[in-house]
Amino acid sequence: MRVLIVEDNRDICENIAAYLEKHSYILDFAYDGISAMHLALTNPFDVIVLDLMLPGMDGLSFCQKLRADAKLETPVLMLTARDTLDDKLKGFAAGADDYLVKPFALQELHARLQALYKRSHGKTDNLLTVGELTLNRSTLQVHRAGRRVDLNPAGMKLLQRLMEEAPSVVARDALETLLWADERPDGDALRSHMYKLRQAIDRPFESPLIHTVHRIGYRIAEDT
């Protein structure tokens, strides 16, 4: 699990690192809100642990911008000394998924991170994953690098079939049958749907996942 720790207290960061790295966590640290936002927007984190009192940008503002502006749904665990009901309600209203009050037990932090991860990824057998791309077959939610991807029904069908067969090639004929059965439209309508799917899945990101296999079909994989 890859976790971003946003906390300006270096001692707390060292304690968290010493404990969680023993449990095979991959950790990144930010000591102010602005640096944290840059990391959150450029890296696929599974969970963000967020202090409220931060230089540059406070935790509430960070969480609000993460949800409203960046449209990221990465689970956020607020970690703070503010322990009143009003503080907690403000945290949840800003978009937090959980709230842990300082001082805290590292075992509890670990347990809450595990719960947030399982909740966000759904049941394992319902989750399709290719690199940083996930599709939950129960909820039909698609995420890449923590960002939600919205697809039309045809795009969802195509993506699910490609991910189910990944990294194998899915023939054009199979994809056309999936969309239209025996009533296929004139022209190369499949190419148009694949273009729209690529625009949603690949265009906002650095590396493409959807690949054309000339005269045969399409495949989805991290490699080319």
As given in the structure block, the two tokens for residue 99 are 């709230």
Domains belonging to the chain, first-starting first, are 2-121 (3.40.50.2300), 126-220 (1.10.10.10)
Band the pLDDT of 191: cuts 50, 70, 90.
Answer: very high
Query: DSSP string of 49-78?
Result: EE-SS-SSS-HHHHHHHHHHTS-B---EEE
Asked whether the predicted pLDDT for residue 210 surpasses 60, the reply is yes
Contact 143, 134 (CB under 8 A): yes
Asked whether the predicted pLDDT for residue 224 surpasses 60, the reply is no
**Three-class secondary structure of residue 10 per DSSP:** helix
Average pLDDT, the chain: 90
Helix, strand and coil percent figures for the chain, each rounded to 5: 45, 20, 35
Give the C-alpha separation, 126 to 145, whole Å.
18
As given in the structure block, the two tokens for residue 8 are 């300006």
* Partners of residue 79 on adjacent β-strands: 100
- What pLDDT score does 18 carry? 93
- In tens, the pLDDT along 82-101 reads 888 888 898 899 999 999 99
The reply to whether the predicted model has a pTM over 0.75 is: no
Give the C-alpha separation, 144 to 204, whole Å.
10
- In tens, the pLDDT along 111-128 reads 999 888 888 765 555 788
